Amino acid sequence: MIDLKKLISNTSIVGILSIISRILGYIREIALTHWMGTSAATDGLIIATRIPTLLRKATTEGSLNNVLVPTMNKLQKQNKEELIAELISKTIKIFSLFFIAFAILEIIYLKQILSIISPGISEEIFYWTKYYSYFIGITILFFFLNGLFSAILNYHNKFFWPAMSPIIWNSILIISIVFSKMKNINIHYMGIIYLVATIFFTITTFIPYLTIKFKKSNNKNNKEESKTIFKEFFKNLLPIIFTNSTNNINNIILMSLISYLPTGSITLMNRVNRILEIPVALIIPLTITLLPEIAKEEKEGEKIIKWSLIATSIIFIPISIIFYFCSFNLVNAIFYFGKLPIKEINIMSELIKIYALAVPAILLNKIIPIFFFAKKEIKTPTIASLCNTISNVILNLFLIKYGLHGIATASVASYWIQTSILFYYMKKSNYI
């Protein structure tokens, strides 16, 4: 029997902590700007964090949670809890080796990688990127471990520390950056600061994870079965990573296309994307707390689905209205309180108005796949995400002649194509 009050309570806790984390993220960026300014070192830091950030969003932000929770639930129902420890152990070992190897190869082949993702950068920016990469490249391993520990804690209804860890990460960075600015510490130390903050970020979830007791077994048959389970786990993880990375993939494609537009277009679209993160930040807590409930309470799945869709509507309706009717004031308030040129504010305001039409689809595309993942139906959300990416590319090729407005329109249409496909399959599967 689902405890709706507990679900709302958990979602509220995660939501409040997520909002605090977002606010601290903006403060971190402001503090960093005051310390490092606009320089080759700052560009190098941004580029050095780009690859770990992309991998982090692809593998940890939702992906691990979406595949690990249903797998753990399945093993628990089959009275095979001892295999959960085997699965976790294998996951940590294999992915740790992968990310360590990736960090080493990133440094060795950094120039070749940058020629693809950041062509044309100066030698000075390359120097800073390579220097920071020595410390920042390995952080993807700690982000992954944090994501794994968080997924396990979420399954056991321990949502506080996974939601608290980004706050601790941002707080350590802010304090370190402000202290470095006050003491005139060399900006070379920013790489070390980033790495240390990320290690503490992981420790925040690792210690609560140690309190969870898992059954262990030395049975050889169990070890053979654990190999089969891990293969299934990995097989499901790859399409889920793709599904959760749709926005990131689309952004990479968009930024490549926008590079053909007038100078400053990339910056404008990047700022618009930061504003679009606001509604997504509000829905993520619901996706985190919802998955364990749907996986455990199959009989009440329809009730949970209806409740979550209502909750999502409560979020996207006022945000869509604010985005459309208050876009100018919103842009002006978030970005420098009137210090931006009026021309840039007007362009961003117009783009936000267009994206206001996509807010319902963006949020529904985050919440609906959870229903399929909980039932281990990976194919449907993967197909919907693929259709989003393909339609996005095709529509952008036709509409890019209208500049950023055309690109925004193509994105809105692509989001709704994905939502329509998901709703079709939900109806077909009698989820609603």
Domain boundaries, the chain: 1-244, 246-432
Separation of alpha carbons 300 and 332, rounded Å: 45
How far apart are alpha carbons 318 and 359 in whole angstroms? 10
Assess contact for 114 and 47: CB atoms under 8 A. yes
pLDDT tens digits for 132-151?
999 999 999 999 999 899 98
Q: The pTM is what?
A: 0.76
pLDDT tens digits, one per residue of 347-405: 989 999 999 999 999 999 888 888 887 777 888 998 998 899 999 989 998 998 899 99
pLDDT at 250: 76
Torsion of CA 321, 325, 330, 331, to 10 degrees: 120
**Residues 248 and 54: beta-carbon distance below 8 Å:** yes
Angle at alpha carbon of residue 133, lines to 121 and 247, rounded to 5°: 75
**Neighbouring residues of 417: CB distance < 8 A, sequence distance ≥ 6:** 387, 388, 391
* Model pLDDT, residue 256: 66
Give the per-residue pLDDT at 105. 92
Characterize 172-191 residue by residue with b for buried, 16 or more Cβ atoms within 10 angstroms of its Cβ, and e for exposed: bbbebbbebeeeeeebeebb
- Residue 388's nearest CA partner among 253, 238, 236, 235 is 253
Place of tokens 């689309």: 250
Note the pLDDT of residue 80. 79
pLDDT score of 277:
81
What does residue 170 show for φ and ψ, rounded to 5 degrees?
-65, -40
Q: Compute the distance between CA of residue 97 and CA of residue 144 in angstroms, rounded to an integer.
A: 12
Rounded to whole angstroms, how far apart are CA atoms 230 and 242?
Answer: 19
Q: Decide: 311 and 286 in contact? Cβ < 8 Å.
A: yes
Report residues of the chain scoring pLDDT below 70: 1-4, 38, 58-62, 117-121, 216-223, 252, 255-256, 259, 263-264, 266-267, 293, 295-302, 335-340, 431-432
In the prediction, which pLDDT does 180 show? 93
Token pair for 194:
């980033």
